[in-house]
Amino acid sequence: MRIPTRSLALIAAMTMIAPAHAQQSGGTLNLVIQPEPPGLMMGLLQNGPTQMVAGDIYESLLRYDTNLDPMPSLAREWEVSEDGLTYTFHLHEDVKWHDGEDFTAEDVVFTVDVFLRETHPRLRASLVHLESVEAVDDHTVVFTLKQPFGPFLGVFEAGTMPMIPKHIYEGTDFANNPMNSTPIGTGPFKFNEWRQGSFIHLVKNEDYYLDGKPYLDEVYYHVIPDGASRAVAYETGTVDVLHGGSIENFDIERVAALPNTCITDAGWEYFGPHSWMWLNNHEGPMADVNARRAVMHAIDREFARDALWAGRGQLATGPVSSSTRFHDPDTPSIDYDPEKAREYLAESDYDGETLRLLPLPYGETWQRWAEAVRQNLQEVGFNVDLVPTDVAGWNQRVSDWDFDLAFTYLYQYGDPALGVSRTYVESNIAKGSPWNNVAGYRNAEVDELWMQAAVSPSPEERQEIYSEIQNRIVEDVPVAWLLELGFPTIYRCNVQNLVTTGIGINDGLRDAWIEQ
């Protein structure tokens, strides 16, 4: 089996990015970033805003088109052995870090086997299948698996496996390395300046290894405090791009109707954003499965979709999104049913204590959603307080399990083995991250099923196992599933090639250009 070598991969890439007109170099692109990210060191932080900015600073070995097929990035070609155990990547030979040092296969080995094993819980869940990663020479890296792992070719994305400079981080305290504040990557844009509360400024990487790219001279990510002001910033020409979720849902149709304005739902295929509330299974009222079932049936998700999300998105049926492989829609019902919620609450050990509910600090829609859920829960007999935080505070409280319920949304990365299992396996329970098994769900039998599904040889076998997993997890309600989110991107129509991959503007600015 040989999977996209250079010729096939370049054909796919050309198909994705071929413009209607010749590309034009130069210009400044202004985007909104909301909320302001807690940092830009993508090996340490996985917040959506961090990935959106840092995805053009850092790179990985591959990119993915909107069909989730791999395309070249730092790897120009690659092969997979017939037995599915060996993945060989051939790197571009003229890549430099933003500080001028050479990028080599040793950086890949350090990134995967040292840095990200320690810092990246989502990737760590995939690395359990990795036997070794070796630098054959400066520009060849070989990954050897313990057993076949079908989704493995899907982990080489910038947010999942960002390449980290060995010469800066080796032997240091990764979390406190002073270079975290001035990130060094290989990407098409270099970090220039961050004025807190105002903007993040990236500039063109003049030494980028792809001739002629990037086309843009500079990029500004503007920090604008509320949805109405962000909409006004677009209307007045201050910004050219409104990423998904940056204005309130009720404003989308009005803004999209403005002159020279385009809108697209593309660029989220790899992520499959899936929202839920963390329920603290570790201790407190949510450690009781009947209390968790009461919460699930108390939530009016149709109201949230229709009134708060302007009809965008759809009701989640469990842990796997409908856009993700091996989704099973026939799981036990988690529909809105206040009477059933009261019955479950009566069967639980809940004794009236006040639940601490953390809204997601990403704007007015999320705040209103938390208020609506609080009302839903109070109507069936729970006492609930909203606990306001900023992004850094939300990260900290969720990482420390200092909550009873907390809104979130996570990405699914196209396959349950890559983006779903990490939320539910016991081996991924650890304080210090808001992106692992924060809820503290433990089920040894289901853990074994996750492992079986990841390494099963046929899609049919994987589907059967994943269907069983979904049914069992929905019965246990470790989290309260909400919506599969819809996140359209709004932009000036003269901004060309803005969305060219399955992760959209998170890594698309190397291809973007402005038609004059």
Per-domain residue ranges for the chain?
274-484
What are 96's two structure tokens? 């430099």
* pLDDT at 501 > cutoff 50: yes
- Going from the C-alpha of 385 to that of each of 11, 73, 357, 400, the distances in angstroms are 54, 47, 6, 19
Domain covering 274-484, topology: Dipeptide-binding Protein; domain 3 (3.10.105)
Q: What percentage of the chain reaches a pLDDT higher than 70?
A: 96
218-251 burial: b if 16+ Cβ within 10 Å, else e: bbbbbbbeebeebbbbbeeeebbbbbbbbbbbeb
Ordered DSSP codes for 380-421: HT-EEEE----HHHHHHHHHTT--SEEEEEE--TTSHHHHTG
Report the C-alpha gap between 334 and 344 in whole angstroms. Answer: 13
Average pLDDT over residues 26-43: 95
State mean pLDDT over 289-296: 98
Q: Which of 122-126, 180-184, 284-288, 503-507 has the lowest mean pLDDT?
A: 122-126
Q: DSSP letters along 84-95, please?
A: S-EEEEEE-SS-
Structure confidence at residue 21 (pLDDT): 58
pLDDT of residue 30: 98
State the pLDDT at residue 102: 98
Computed over every residue of the chain, the mean pLDDT equals 93
Q: Residue 435 corresponds to which amino acid?
A: W
pLDDT > 90 fraction of the chain, expressed in percent and rounded:
83
pLDDT-derived band at 96, boundaries 50, 70, 90 = very high
pLDDT at 89: 98
CA 282 to chain centre: 25
Strands 405-410 and 274-279 turn out to be: antiparallel
Residue 288 is predicted with a pLDDT of 98
Place 353 in a pLDDT band, splitting at 50, 70 and 90. Answer: very high
Statement: residue 14 has pLDDT above 80: no
- pLDDT by residue (tens digit) across 202-247? 999 999 999 999 999 999 999 998 889 999 999 999 999 999 989 9
* pLDDT tens digits for range 421-446: 999 999 999 999 898 999 999 999 99
Average pLDDT over every residue of 23-39: 94
**How many C-beta atoms lie closer than 10 Å to residue 279's C-beta?**
28
Query: 414 pLDDT exceeds 50?
Result: yes
Assess whether pLDDT exceeds 90 at residue 192: yes
SS3 452: helix
Residues in a beta bridge with 513: 496
Provide the pLDDT for residue 215.
98
Token pair, residue 253, equals 């149709």
Q: What pLDDT is recorded for position 10? A: 40
Mean pLDDT of the 149-168 span: 95
pLDDT at residue 91, as a whole number: 98
Is residue 15's pLDDT more than 60?
Answer: no
**In the predicted model, what is the mean pLDDT of residues 83-108?**
97
What is the spatial distance between Cα 321 and Cα 99, in angstroms, rounded to a whole number?
40
